[in-house]
């Protein structure tokens, strides 16, 4: 194997660490090549050489160092995708505003997204207007869960319950000023698992 530049190894190493800290994922060889201004094949060869020297781990496309190893595997990045109604259902929107890191030790494993609560129908569940609600992506829910439900192409955040008398599920607001919603059909978009709020 040809001699590898120590300076280029240093540049790649520093880029990998900084990129991972900022993006909560390891960079691709294409991103590394562009950052240090080398060919993609060269970046790959350097990663292999750096792995052999014990500078980093490079397996299945994931690059990590001692500093970033726990960061990659113990956190995930969730997109803030707009707002969800805590009153009457509102039109669904998925405009990603930004990504925020979520520690697995607090949130758990899975795929998540974050929405702004909009309205006051869920104040009894501790969710106020403009709180950030962390939602686990899933298409099924248990009765009693707080869910993001898509009802006739509109979304809403409510408690998912079952009416034994009517023999059908319904959406229950946690505020006596709001009425239960009995949709003709609904689709579960996720289950709310945590709330981030400002203490002001």
Residues taking part in catalysis:
121, 158
> Within a 10 A sphere around the Cβ of 106, how many other Cβ atoms?
9
| Max CA separation in the chain (angstroms) | 77
How far is residue 175's CA from residue 85's CA, in Å, rounded to a whole number? 14
User: b/e map of 116-153 (b: 16 or more CB within 10 Å)?
Assistant: bbbbbbbbebebeeebbbbbbeeeebeeebbbbbbbee
3-state secondary structure of 121: coil
How far is C-alpha 192 from the geometric centre of its chain's CA atoms?
Answer: 12
How far is residue 174's CA from residue 127's CA, in Å, rounded to a whole number? 9
How far is residue 103's CA from residue 2's CA, in Å, rounded to a whole number? 41
Contact between 48 and 41 (Cβ < 8 Å):
no
């Amino acid at each position: 194997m040809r001699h590898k530049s120590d300076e280029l190894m240093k540049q790649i190493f520093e880029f990998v660490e900084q990129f991972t800290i900022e993006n909560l994922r390891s960079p691709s060889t294409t991103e590394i090549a562009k950052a240090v201004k080398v060919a993609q094949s060269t970046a790959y060869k350097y990663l292999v050489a750096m792995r052999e020297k014990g500078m980093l781990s490079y397996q299945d496309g994931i690059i990590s160092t001692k500093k970033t190893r726990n960061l990659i595997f113990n956190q995930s990045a969730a997109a803030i995708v707009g707002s969800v109604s805590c009153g009457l259902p509102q039109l669904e929107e998925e405009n990603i505003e930004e990504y925020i890191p979520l520690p697995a030790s607090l949130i758990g494993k899975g795929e998540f997204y974050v929405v702004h609560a909009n309205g006051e129908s869920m104040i009894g569940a501790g969710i106020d207007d403009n709180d950030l609600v962390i939602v686990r992506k899933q298409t099924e829910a248990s009765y009693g869960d707080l869910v993001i439900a898509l009802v006739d192409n509109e979304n809403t955040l409510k408690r998912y319950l079952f009416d034994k008398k009517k023999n059908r599920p319904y959406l229950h607001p946690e505020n006596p000023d709001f009425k239960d919603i009995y949709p003709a059909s609904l689709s579960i978009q996720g289950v709310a698992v945590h709330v981030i709020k400002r203490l002001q």
